[in-house]
Each structure stands twice: as structure tokens, then as C-alpha cells.
Amino acid sequence: MSESRSSFHAVYELLDRARTRQITEPVAPYISADELLDRIDFDLSETGQSEEQVLELLDQVAAVTPRTSSRRFLNQLFAGKDDSALAAELLTVILNTSLYTYKAAGANAIIEHTMTRHMAKLIGFENGEGVFAPGGSMSNFTAIVMARNEAMKTMREDGHDGVPMILYTSEVSHYSITKGAAMAGLGRSNVRPVACDDRGRMIPAKLQEAIEKDIEAGNRPFMINATAGTTVLGSFDPIRSISAIASEFGLWLHVDGALGGTMILSEKHRHLLDGVENANSVTWDAHKLMTVPLVCSVILVRQPGMLVKHFNEDASYLFQSDDDDLNFGTRALQCGRRNDALKVWALWKRHGDKGLGEHMDYLMSMAQHAASIIDRDPEMTLTKTPESVNVCFEFDGVSSPELCEELRRQSRLIVGYGDVEGRDVIRIPFVNPDLTFDHIEEALEEIRTVGRELRSRPQTAASEAMRESCC
């Protein structure tokens, strides 16, 4: 099981083919899982195969994997596109280091230090710090653990003291908040969903009401999560007003900026994060709007030492030398930790704060352009004026789930839907920097074609029921 330099050329060709396919072939061949099971030899056996056979298998897998870099992949909130970030990511695999100590990671530990301090400063955490986590969900979980431990002093050493700990988050926030509360031993029922206004933003007065009610009931409010860029509508909660409530009641304020944290770089749009400097912690995913390959998320904290306080453990077999400032394992959830810092550092070196901010402006302009076309289209209904990069709408008379599935079945587009105020609506996140206004028109034309086709099709009982529940 050794590395051979001679086989690397074949590996390079495999990677090159995969990359070319991302752009030149349909977004995904429509193949059911059953068909795939017949087509690819997934089963494992007692004896191994040759290197050539394994490369051939990998090529088969790549050929049928949905092409997330395609201009017709409009389904998810990520886009791993930037060449410098991609080069760094491939190098990361070859370097195969772990970010727990300077001893193992060398220059990469300095890069994690540089990146997290720079991002913290941009947020307004002058002396803040941070650590890379494996995704926004884990960054949010890290924040919940810190907030819980700060509010319940027995927790880290002796466990829960029995007083219900209450977490407030908007009714449309990401599911990782409820999941995190459950994983932190607090109970899903102790997460209070706070009502939103008609733009999908948490209503501060409702938050205040909920906190007062819990205090009266003898519960212990401990944390508010404000979302900067909600998953479906892309809305931003009013952070400044929420931070005033957090401060009045002495609660930990976390900002889930997994999607929208990057807007801090845009001169034009950073007002969406107004008040974020008052938060105790912020989640910021670089793999979403910043074109960095998955995964790349940072949890930032305003108060230095907070991460070490809640995550450090004695481990003389690991933390053996050097300044703990560069031994990032002392502040992470994990022990062995993938190097997610190098790729975002390479991206930042390439474009700088200014270039990245302009990129945000471009994504926002695409969303606004798409919304204006949809709004003028007599066959479509724009759900809301977009708050940021997500555009939600319906094709009139056709259920959004059915339309999305048919677009996928015909290998035209991969696009998803979400629930907004009880309706299933198509959601297009504008995260792919290769999209132009022409591509937007092409994608909408595909939606019109398939929408009309579905509308004129004789209805089955199942699709009739779907249509009635949605349209």
C-alpha cells in the first residue's frame, strides 16, 4: 500500500476528466439507485484489484455523480469553483496533515491562525479568534456548547443541573440549531421557535416575549441564535435589535452566518449584518458563497480564550511542544482535523478582501436580475423580493416538487424546493460565479418548458393530490 510516483499521471488524467465533465456534460445523467447498483461493481471482496481497475471504477463513479460545478446545478448553497482554492485543496490531500499541532501542521497552523484572526477582525471581533470546523452545523454546535457551559457552570465537570436551558431561534432557522441543542443534552423541546415577519426575519418583540415567559416559568434562557442568511429565503435577522435583547437578559448571542457571513466583505451589502460585532460567536462558511471546495467553515468568538476554556483537554501524547496559540487542537471539537484553512487562504491571497466583496455584489445582482424576470413573467409567481442570493418562486398551476423532479428526470436542471409559509416553492441559490444573466434566462426557459409540459399532462391521482396541496 505504498504511493507510487509512476501512477500519478493516470490519477491526474482521472482528475482532469472529472473536471472537464463538470462543465461540458449534462448536469447529471438520470439514473436510479437500482440501475447504478447494476452498472457499477460496488461490492467488496476478500481479494483486491489492480490499480488500473480501481482507477477505472473511480472514473465510473465520477461519470455518474451530479456535476455540482455545472451551470445547471442550482440545488445547493455551495460552489467549489475557484482555481486557487482548488489547487490548495488538491495540495492538502497530498500534504495529508492534521491541524491539531504546529508540530504536525507546520505552516498550515500559521495559516489557520492568520485566517481565523483576519475573519474575526472583519466581523468586528477586534481581539477575537476562531477555529475551522467540519461544516456550519458543527460550528453552530460548537457555539451551543460554549453558551451552555457559560450559563451552567456545573456542566463541563459534573453535567446538567436540571434547570431547563432555553435556546431561542427563528422559526425558519437551520435545523442544525435544534439538532445541536439535542446533541448538547439540552432537549429539542427547549428550543423556542420565534415568529418571523413577512420577510422571514425574526421579530424582536416576539423574542422578548418568549424570554420573559420562560423566566416567569422558572426556566433558564441562555442563548439566542440569529440567522444571517436563512436557508430558503436568504433572510437576515435584525442582529442589532436582537443583540440589545441578548444584552438586557445576559444571554449568549450566536450569529449563524453560514450562508450570509461573507456579506461582511461587501461595502454595498454589509449593512445586512449590522450589529454582528456584538455577538459572542459567529458561524461563517467559506464553502457556501466563497467558491471554496467543501467543507470550509469557521466558528469565530469575540472573547479570546473562550474556545480553549471549553474544549481543551490534557493530552501529553499530543500537545508536546510549541506555543498553544498554534496548537489548534486545544480549541477544536475534533482531535485529528482536516486542513480546511489552506484553500480559503489561497482564495483570499488571490482575490483579497476587495475582490471577494465584489464577488458578493455580483451574486446579489444575479439574484435581483432573476427575481425581476420572474416577477414580470405571467406564468410565474415570485414568492418574495429576495433578501440576498436565494430566489424563491412558483410556476403557476404546477407543484414545485413535481417540477423539480421532472427537471432532474430529463437531466435539464437540478434545482430544489423549500417551504415558505406553508407553500412548496422553487429555490434557486445564486452561488455559482460562472453564471451569467444569459444562463439565468436559459434556466428559467427550461423551467417554463417543463412547467408547461406538466400543466398540460393528464393528471394521475397522486399528482392531482400534490397539485391541490401546493397550488
Ligand X SMILES: Cc1ncc(COP(=O)(O)O)c(C=O)c1O
Which residues contact ligand X by CB under 6 A? 77, 135-137, 140, 174, 176, 227, 229-231, 256, 258-259, 285, 297
Q: How far is the CB of 55 from ligand X (least distance, A)?
A: 30
Sheet holding 73-74, edge to edge: 73-74, 414-420, 423-429, 390-395, 380-382
Residue 22 Cα distances to 10, 52, 81, 259, 438, angstroms: 19, 23, 10, 23, 19
Residue nearest to ligand X (CB): 136
Measured from the CB of residue 170, what is the shortest distance to ligand X in angstroms?
Answer: 10
CB of 165 to ligand X, least distance (A): 21
Q: How far apart are the first and last CA of the chain?
A: 57
Cβ proximity to ligand X: between 275 and 451 the closer is 275
Give whichever of 202 and 380 is closer to ligand X, judged by the CB atom: 202
Closest approach of ligand X to the CB of residue 287, in Å: 7
Instruction: Name the minimum Å distance from CB 256 to ligand X.
Output: 5
Looking at 195-243, which runs of residues are DSSP E strands? 220-227
Q: Which residues contact 317 (CB under 8 A, 6 or more apart)?
A: none
DSSP 422-445: TEEEEEEE---TT--HHHHHHHHH
Residue 457 CB coordination number (10 Å): 12
Q: How many CB atoms lie within 10 A of CB 340?
A: 27
Comparing CB distances to ligand X, the nearer of 178 and 330 is 178
Main-chain phi, psi angles of 130, to 5 degrees: -170, 180
> Shortest Cβ distance from residue 283 to ligand X (Å)?
7
Closest-CA residue to 255 (of 309, 300, 317) = 300
**What angle do the packed helices 341-376 and 437-456 form, to 10 degrees?**
60
State which residue, 253 or 326, has the beta carbon closest to ligand X.
Answer: 253
Nearer to ligand X, 148 or 174 (CB): 174
Residue 196 contacts residue 202 (beta carbons within 8 Å): yes
Q: In this complex, which beta carbon is closest to ligand X, that of residue 130 or of residue 136? A: 136
Q: Which is nearer to ligand X, 277 or 285 (CB)?
A: 285
Q: Which is nearer to ligand X, 132 or 319 (CB)?
A: 132
Calpha distance 239→387 (Å, rounded):
15
The minimum distance between CB 294 and ligand X, in angstroms, equals 8
Distance (Å, whole) CA 193 – CA 207: 9
What is the smallest separation between the CB atom of 174 and ligand X, expressed in angstroms? 3
**Strand stretches in 306-429, DSSP E:** 380-382, 390-395, 414-420, 423-429
Q: Kindly tell me the sign of the dihedral angle through the C-alpha atoms of 254, 325, 332, 93.
A: positive
Q: Which is nearer to ligand X, 97 or 137 (CB)?
A: 137
| Closest distance of CB 282 from ligand X, Å | 12
